[in-house]
A and B are shown apart, each in its own frame.
Chain A
Amino acid sequence: EPEVTQTPSHQVTQMGQEVILRCVPISNHLYFYWYRQILGQKVEFLVSFYNNEISEKSEIFDDQFSVERPDGSNFTLKIRSTKLEDSAMYFCASRTQGAGEQFFGPGTRLTVL
């Protein structure tokens, strides 16, 4: 069964460093999402992406964040200069159409020291 994959599963970085989180959505899906979840808290929407551009972003998704689809399969989230409060689980999700089930990847745990 097709699934969304994410790498790495855990990333440890120093404050101020850049990190890139990678996702491979399900191949025929067109809509892609990034979410973050601080430990023990709610899942927060960061950004949605369709047709090679950002379609929506939340107030959390400031200039420190960027997303890219560098090739036909990968979907990346870059944090330019990490802060302690960026420590969280980051989930990628994809779906085939604008309304419908989102398929989540297993997440990347980001720890900023």
Chain B
Amino acid sequence: QQPVQSPQAVILREGEDAVINCSSSKALYSVHWYRQKHGEAPVFLMILLKGGEQKGHDKISASFNEKKQQSSLYLTASQLSYSGTYFCGTEGTGNQFYFGTGTSLTVIP
């Protein structure tokens, strides 16, 4: 039930780009993306609903391919503040919600 993310960890220099992938073995109705800094609660980034939509928020954007049951998060021109662990989250037909395995992103100067 838990979505699988790749890569598990990535290290970037400021200004570089990254892609984080999320895939599920079950049908997806929506995909959420959250970022969690060490010792803090997850913070919502965006939600994508089925229909193959894409969304963007500043230099962070995401896509959702419901047929492939996959979503990708794109971080462009990364900043130091982007460091953290990124989780996708998926929900099925009921009111359950499952976070992905997580991707640790470290941005260095």
Residues of chain A having any CB pair with chain B under 8 Å: 31, 33, 35, 42-45, 48, 50, 55-58, 91, 98-107
Contact = CB atoms under 8 A, between A and B. Distances in A.
12 contacts: A42-B100, A43-B42, A43-B102, A44-B99, A45-B99, A56-B94, A58-B96, A99-B29, A99-B30, A99-B47, A99-B91, A101-B44
Shortest 8 CB-CB distances between A and B: which pairs?
A104-B41, A56-B96, A55-B95, A43-B99, A48-B95, A101-B44, A56-B94, A56-B95
Contacts of B87: 42-43
B60 interface: no
Contacts of B97: 33, 45, 48, 102
Interface residues of B, number: 23
Contacts of B94: 48, 55-56
B98 A50 contact: no
A98 B42 contact: no
A45 B102 contact: no
Contacts of B36: 43
Nearest to A101: B44
Interface in B55-103: 87, 91, 94-102
B27 to A, nearest CB: 15
Contacts of B96: 45, 48, 56-58
A107 B97 CA distance: 18
A91 B49 contact: no
Given A45-B99, A55-B94, A103 B44 contact: yes
Given A48-B96, A50-B95, A56-B96, A106 B102 contact: no
